[in-house]
Amino acid sequence: MTLISGDKRITFSLAGALSELDRLNEMLKMVGERWNLSEKAVLHMNLALDELFTNVVSYGIDHQAHQEVSFSLDHCGDEIIIVVADSGKPFDPTHAPEPELDLPIDDQPVGGLGIFLMRQYTDNIEYRRENEKNIVTLTKKI
């Protein structure tokens, strides 16, 4: 994990392993303290980034190649803009199907809620594929 930190921009990267979720939590707590964000805003960002990172690590990246996932957070007025990049297989979370939350329990698939929660806890999500990388930009109003 590396960390570069300025007044308005904080960047770090995590190894492609789910055990890194604890570090994600630590990093976001630090971001929250530095930018004086509410506990709720930090929790919401944590959940959104957790779900994206879990998807990327579970399905996207090449574990043999020890690929990392990079995070860049910018504090712009009343918004935090977060750019998450990885070199894994193309994956566009903005085109993932919506779960059907009102299904009876027997028809409810186990799983598939991660991207839904990511959408719920952010205000905008954009995806682009650039230089063999997935680049997801999330906006969180604070």
Partner 1 sequence: MDIDKTEEQGVIILSPNGRLDSNSAPILEQEIGLINASDNGHHLLLDFSKVEYISSAGLRVVLKTVKERQTASKSFAVSNMQDHVREVFEISGFDSYVTIHPDTLKAIESFKV
Chain residues binding partner 1 by CB under 8 A are 18-19, 21-22, 25, 40, 43, 46-47, 50-51, 54, 58, 101-102, 105-106, 108, 110-114, 116-117, 120
Closer by beta carbon to partner 1, 90 or else 112: 112
Closer of 106 and 130 to partner 1 (Cβ) = 106
82/139 Cα distance (integer angstroms): 6
**Alpha-helix runs per DSSP H in the chain:** 21-35, 39-55, 114-120
Amino acid at 20: E
We find the least distance from the C-beta atom of residue 88 to partner 1, in angstroms, to be: 16
Residue 2: C-alpha distances to residues 68, 70, 71 (Å): 11, 9, 10
Q: How far is the CB of 16 from partner 1 (least distance, A)?
A: 13
